[in-house]
Structure 1
Amino acid sequence: MRIKTFEIRVDPAFREHDERTVNEFLSAVRVPRLHCRCLRSRSAWMLLVIFNEETADEPAMRAALAGRHLPAGAELTPGECERFEALRVWRDRRAAEMGCKPFVIASNRDLLNVARSGAASPADLLSIAGFGSRRAERYGEEIAAVLGSVAEADFD
């Protein structure tokens, strides 16, 4: 994680430029947290961005997923991307612990279906394509915990 600060001046002559600078930066990174403070003495807002740099393969991964796994014209929301990424990290770590390939636990398509479903419990997984009773029983609690941690992070 890294930190970057921005000053957004209230004066309309500068504000548009400052906002454009911030927006360009935000479009290039993954931001788990933002903090802001009014700087009355300087007539500005201070923005503290805690971010992760987007790796070179992340845009390609999102584009590939959208092209192969989603209906034409559909896009992932930021929340769906975040849930998918959290599930993918969990699956990859779990596979490494088990000494197997990640797809044995769940394919990317299965994880995408879970990320898009809004499942909140192991029982909810049974209604998702790719999750039968065995997979839901084996991994359901862990998946629900991963989705719960993403939901909690959204409220921080």
Structure 2
Amino acid sequence: MKVQVFRIRISDEFQASDEAVVNDFLSRYDILNMNSELIQGEINYWSVFINYQEKTKQVNSNKLNINSEEELSDEEKIIYNKLKEWRYEKSKELNQPPYIIFHNIHLMSIAKFKPYNLQDLEQINGLGESKIRRFGAEIIEVLENA
């Protein structure tokens, strides 16, 4: 098991690029455990501690996946943005960074495939039982109102 620590600065200038670095890391490794803490001081930032290992050989999966916003239609981009708004509000409510709740790739996949129920969410690559149980009903509600 290996560890990595990231800082995500909470400022318009740095937050997007810091999140992109973390998202890239998360896509390249199997994440075993992740913790975060908001550090407030002269510069406010999220400290993210990740236990990880090299990716195991991936079995060909039948789960749905999308890798780029470019794969979304205009309608799907609207849904994607509504999902990002929901995630941002949820992150504030739970006092966690947005990527802990869902990665952008997950939200893009949800916007693309528009699941109708919790069972449909299980078909999205990267959405496990825990995330679906915790957030699935809210995701379906966002989709119904989009």
Task: Give the TM-score taking structure 1 as reference length.
Answer: 0.49
CA deviation string 1:45-89 (max 9, x = no partner): xxxxxxxxxxxxxxxxxxx9xxx9339xx6321111011001000
Matched with 1:39 is: none
Partner Cα separation in structure 2 for residue 147 and residue 122 of structure 1: 12
Q: 2:137, 2:143 → 1: CA distance?
A: 10
Q: Which residue of 1 aligns with 2:141?
A: 145
- Structure 1 gaps, min length 5: 1-63, 151-156
Report runs of 4+ in structure 1 exceeding 4 Å deviation: none
How many residues align structurally? Answer: 82
Q: Which has the higher contact order (CA 8 A, sep 6+)?
A: 2
- Return the structure number with greater helix share: 1
Note the residue ranges of structure 2 that are not aligned, 5 or more in a row. 1-19, 21-65
| Helix, strand or coil at the partner of 1:69 | coil
In structure 2, the residue matched to 1:57 is: none
Candidates 71, 75, 82, aligned match of 2:71:
75
State the Cα RMSD in Å. 2.1
Q: Which of 1 and 2 has greater Rg?
A: 1
1:14-52 per-residue CA deviation (whole Å, 9 max, x = no partner) reads: xxxxxxxxxxxxxxxxxxxxxxxxxxxxxxxxxxxxxxx
Identity of aligned residues (%): 29
TM-score by length of 2: 0.52
SS of the aligned residue for 2:71 comes to coil
Q: CA deviation at 1:133?
A: 0.8
User: Do the aligned residues in 1 keep the contact of 2:83 with 2:142 (CA within 8 Å)?
Assistant: yes
Tell whether the 8 Å contact from 1:123 to 1:136 is kept in structure 2 after alignment: no
- Counterpart for residue 94 of structure 2: 98
CA distance in 2, matches of 1:75, 1:116: 8
